[in-house]
Amino acid sequence: MSDDNRLVIEVKDLDISFRMPTGDIHAIRGVDFELRENEVLALVGESGCGKSITAKTIMGILPENAVINSGKVIYHGKDVEIDLLGKKSSWRRKNINGSKIAMVFQDPMTSLNPTMTIGAQLITSIRSHKHSDRREAYSRSLELMREVGITDPERTMRQYPHQLSGGMRQRIVIAIALSCDPEIIICDEPTTALDVTIQNRIIELLENIRRARGISVIFITHNLGVVAKIADYVGVMYAGKIVEYGTVFDIFYDPRHPYTWGLLSAVPELSDDKGELYSIPGTPPNLAKEIVGDAFAPRNPYALAVDFKAEPPLFHVSGSHFAATWLLDVRAPEVKMPDALRERINRMKQEGREYVNESE
Amino acid sequence: MLKYIGKRLLISVITLLVILLILFLLLQLMPGSPFNDEKLSPEQVAQLKEKYGLDRPVIEQFFRYIVNMLRGDLGVSYSLSANTPITELLVNRFPITVQIGLASMIVGTFSGLVLGFLTAFFRNKVLNFIYGLFTLLGIAVPSYIFAMFFSYFLGYRVDMLPLLYDFRTPILSTVMPIMAMSFGVMSVIARFAKAEASDVMKSDYVLFAKCQGLPNGTVIMKYVLKNSLMPVITVVASLLVSLLTGSLVIERMFSVPGVGGLLTSAIDSNDYSVVIALSFIYSALYIVVMLLLDILYCIIDPRVRLGGRD
Residue window 80-119, chain A: list those with CB within 8 Å of chain B. Answer: 90, 92-99, 102-103, 105, 107, 110-117
Per the CB < 8 A criterion, the answer to whether B297 and B30 are in contact is no
Q: Which residue of A has its CA nearest to B202?
A: A63
Of A99, A124, A162, Cβ closest to residue B309 = A162
CATH number at residue B224: 1.10.3720.10
pLDDT 10s digits, A101-123: 999 999 999 999 998 999 999 99
Find chain B residues with C-beta within 8 A of A176's C-beta: 208, 212
The answer to whether residue B64 sits within a structural domain is no
CA-to-CA separations, B245 to B65, B99, B174, B237, in angstroms, rounded:
22, 11, 16, 13
d(CA B128, CA B140): 18
Q: Which residue of B has its CA nearest to A96?
A: B213
Contact flag A93-B214 (C-beta cutoff 8 Å): yes
The pLDDT, as a whole number, for residue B269 is: 80
Which among A54-58, A296-300, A343-347, B237-241 has the top mean pLDDT? A54-58
pLDDT 10s digits, A207-251: 999 999 999 999 999 889 889 989 999 999 999 999 999 999 999
Rg value, chain A, Cα: 21
pLDDT 10s digits, A313-338: 999 998 889 999 999 988 888 888 88
Contact flag B204-A107 (C-beta cutoff 8 Å): yes
pLDDT 10s digits, A9-54: 999 999 999 999 988 999 999 999 999 999 999 999 888 889 999 9
Of B205, B223, B308, Cβ closest to residue A110 = B205
Domain ranges of chain A: 1-95+211-360, 101-181
Other residues' Cβ atoms within 10 Å of the Cβ of residue A78: 6
User: Quick one: A1-95+211-360 is in which CATH superfamily?
Assistant: P-loop containing nucleotide triphosphate hydrolases (3.40.50.300)
The answer to whether residue B138 sits within a structural domain is yes
d(CA A95, CA A118): 24
Chain B touched by A74 (CB under 8 Å): no
In this prediction, residue A359 has a pLDDT band, given cuts at 50, 70 and 90, of low
Of A92, A111, A160, Cβ closest to residue B303 = A160
d(CA A73, CA A80): 13
d(CA B123, CA B117): 10
Per the CB < 8 A criterion, the answer to whether A176 and B211 are in contact is no
pLDDT 10s digits, A293-320: 899 998 998 888 899 998 999 999 988 8
Chain B touched by A160 (CB under 8 Å): yes
Tell me what ipTM this predicted complex has.
0.90
Q: What is the mean pLDDT of chain A?
A: 90
The answer to whether residue B153 sits within a structural domain is yes
Find chain A residues with C-beta within 8 A of B303's C-beta: 114, 160, 162
Listed residue (B124, B80, B77) closest to B273, CA to CA: B77
Taking 60 as the threshold, does the pLDDT of residue A98 lie above it?
yes
The pLDDT, as a whole number, for residue A75 is: 95
Chain B touched by A128 (CB under 8 Å): yes
Q: Which residue of A has its CA nearest to B207?
A: A61
Taking 50 as the threshold, does the pLDDT of residue B228 lie above it?
yes
The answer to whether residue B134 sits within a structural domain is yes
Domain tally, chain B: 1
Chain A touched by B122 (CB under 8 Å): no
Q: Is the dihedral of CA B155, B161, B166, B172 positive or negative?
A: negative
Report the phi/psi class of residue A71: left, alpha or beta, with left for phi > 0 and alpha for psi in -120 to 50. left
HEC secondary structure over A249-264: HHHHHCCCCHHHHHHH
Find chain B residues with C-beta within 8 A of A125's C-beta: 209, 212, 214
Chain B touched by A172 (CB under 8 Å): no
Contact flag B211-A97 (C-beta cutoff 8 Å): yes
d(CA A119, CA A356): 42
The pLDDT, as a whole number, for residue A360 is: 53
In this prediction, residue A271 has a pLDDT band, given cuts at 50, 70 and 90, of low
DSSP H helices, A179-310, are 196-213, 224-230, 248-253, 258-265
Q: Which residue of B has its CA nearest to A94?
A: B213
DSSP H helices, B53-169, are 58-70, 86-122, 125-140, 143-150
Per the CB < 8 A criterion, the answer to whether A244 and A322 are in contact is yes
Chain A touched by B216 (CB under 8 Å): yes
pLDDT 10s digits, B22-32: 888 887 777 76
The pLDDT, as a whole number, for residue B307 is: 52
The predicted model scores a pTM of 0.82
Side-chain half-sphere CA neighbours of B180 within 13 A: 30
Per the CB < 8 A criterion, the answer to whether A174 and A104 are in contact is yes
Find chain A residues with C-beta within 8 A of B308's C-beta: 160, 162-163
Q: Is the dihedral of CA A355, A318, A345, A207 positive or negative?
A: negative
Rounded to the nearest 10 degrees, how much is the dihedral formed by the CA atoms of A134, A137, A143, A149? -90
The answer to whether residue B27 sits within a structural domain is no
Taking 50 as the threshold, does the pLDDT of residue B308 lie above it?
no
The pLDDT, as a whole number, for residue B309 is: 40
Of B212, B222, B310, Cβ closest to residue A162 = B310
Contact flag B204-A105 (C-beta cutoff 8 Å): yes
Other residues' Cβ atoms within 10 Å of the Cβ of residue B125: 7
Rounded to the nearest 10 degrees, how much is the dihedral formed by the CA atoms of A257, A261, A264, A268? -160
Taking 50 as the threshold, does the pLDDT of residue A178 lie above it?
yes
- CA of residue A15 relative to chain centroid, distance: 18
Segment (H or E) for B272: helix B272-300
Find chain B residues with C-beta within 8 A of A113's C-beta: 205, 209, 222-223, 227
Find chain B residues with C-beta within 8 A of A56's C-beta: 207
Measured distance between the N- and C-terminal CA atoms of chain A, rounded to whole angstroms: 20
Contact flag A163-B306 (C-beta cutoff 8 Å): yes
Contact flag A96-B303 (C-beta cutoff 8 Å): no
Residue B194, domain extent: 94-259
Contact flag A160-B302 (C-beta cutoff 8 Å): yes
Which positions ≥6 away from A237 have C-beta within 8 Å? A31, A43, A44, A45, A49, A50, A51, A54, A243
Residue window 267-306, chain B: list those with CB within 8 Å of chain A. Answer: 300-303, 306
Alpha carbon of A129: minimum distance to chain B alpha carbons (Å): 8
Alpha carbon of A93: minimum distance to chain B alpha carbons (Å): 4
Taking 60 as the threshold, does the pLDDT of residue B70 lie above it?
yes
Which among A121-125, A265-269, B48-52 has the top mean pLDDT? A121-125
d(CA A167, CA B79): 70
Q: What is the mean pLDDT of chain B?
A: 84
d(CA A204, CA A211): 11
Q: Which of A96-110, A133-147, B109-123, B242-256 has the weakest average pLDDT?
A: B242-256
d(CA A54, CA A144): 28
Chain B touched by A201 (CB under 8 Å): no
Per the CB < 8 A criterion, the answer to whether A203 and A256 are in contact is no
Alpha carbon of A73: minimum distance to chain B alpha carbons (Å): 16
3 state DSSP class of B255: coil
Range list of β-strands (E), A239-303: 241-247
3 state DSSP class of A318: coil
d(CA A73, CA A82): 8
d(CA A13, CA A16): 10
